Chain A
Amino acid sequence: MELLVNISLLFMLSLTVIAVVRLKSLFAIVMLFGIYSLLSAMIFIALDAVDVAFTEAAVGAGISTVLMLATLVTTGRWEKKSSRSSFLPLLIVSITGAALVWGTLDMPEYGNPDNPAHHHVADRYIEQSPEEIGIPNMVTSVLASYRGFDTLGEVIVVFTALIGVLSLLQVRTPPSVAETPLRNENRKLSRPYPVLQVVALVMMPFIILFALYVQFHGDFGPGGGFQAGVIFAVAFILYTLTYGLDDALALTPVSVLKALAAGGVLIYGGTGVVSMLLGGNFLDYNVLSSNPVSGQHIGIIVIELGVGITVASVLICAFYAFMTRALPDQGQKG
């Protein structure tokens, strides 16, 4: 049964990819990318990697689809004809694919519990993390504590991406804010769909509540700062789409978002510095409290908060940058 599910998921995945390559409509391609991510998320669930599946669904199917749609506003909906021949790239890709298949035919048997990947380091994570770290979700134990420095690196990757987005696309001020007389006029125009606005307003508290649940429930089940940050950002993106950019920019000014993006990184890194000052190694949460296990709890909650803050503010800020790209270049903000 599981084999059948896997085969059909992988089959649909390949169909999606072929369709993406063949299609010329960028809008359809963006939608297919979303489907691709959802299918991958399902494959991850079949592999019992629920945390990864959750992230893939939130980031791949959710936020990157929104960002790509925002890009379409500037680029237009149709792909330009490429003049290059696709023979050489196809050849290289085929060779690479063949190499992967050839190599993996020899890999440790799929799903065999005796595989090296399930022993060695994994044994300690499974057997000792309940005592050493004391939280039920081992994935969080590994991400936030055993390999916490990697996760700090990932948060900084997200932060670096914001630096890149801001340097390429500044967040421009919509004309309505720059010219006060037009402001009221524009406000009317940007509120054409009262039904959508009411629905969005009703949904927002629940989205934010869910984000907080995912944020703080990461110790017990799938979730944590990355997923929560994305969901949190979605609430504000929904608000922007229904109420218009100037209201959104007034609610979450860009300068505040930028400060929060840096702040989240500093909360995470600061936890490491504090543990150094208390006599442990960098990111050693044991020293944060007299009881090592509660030290681990404190450390993980604080760093997950840092992750959530950075991810949410980077995504909202990047969304604004993409959205305002289509506006005429007048004044700038932040």
Chain B
Amino acid sequence: MTAFEDLKSQWNNQDQPETPEDGAKKVVDKINAIRSKQRITNIVLGATVMVLIAFFLYISAHKFPPVMIGLLIMMGSLLIRISLEFYSINYLKKMNVSVVYEAFKSQMVTYYRQRIKVHFIATPLIIISYCIGFVLLLPAFKANLSNGFYNYILVSAIVVLIGLGLFIAMEIKKEISLLNEIKQDH
């Protein structure tokens, strides 16, 4: 027996995990969980848009051009970012998993290249426009809010921006390493 055959025989002597008795039920539950998750996501996003529109009307933003422009830029940036995320999730869902591994790997490489483009080009532009929208709102905040609350909004926005920057950097690092791992084949 060669050294590899010896390893193969040890490998095949491992205990095989038992087939769960309720395996079919678990799969059906998982499918239902995926469906309900999609429904919940749609409800949450719909509710968010409704709240934003209601807020927009409540404060009569359309009567104050800088406030209106600021809010529209912020909402637009968020909507673009969410649309990109949805496009990305759909791309993953629509990938044909029954093709040969090499073809599937190419789909994955394309996916990660797109993700990296989004992270390096689209996301910074979106963050910049979001910040511009926020800055346009600042005079209105200063005029209508107490000094303490204004400072709180300013500081918390900076903290969120730093946190978001770190999170995006980590995501980019993770996706670049996954892309390299997939491309590594030879």
Co-complex (A, B): no
- List residues of B whose CB falls within 8 A of some A CB: none
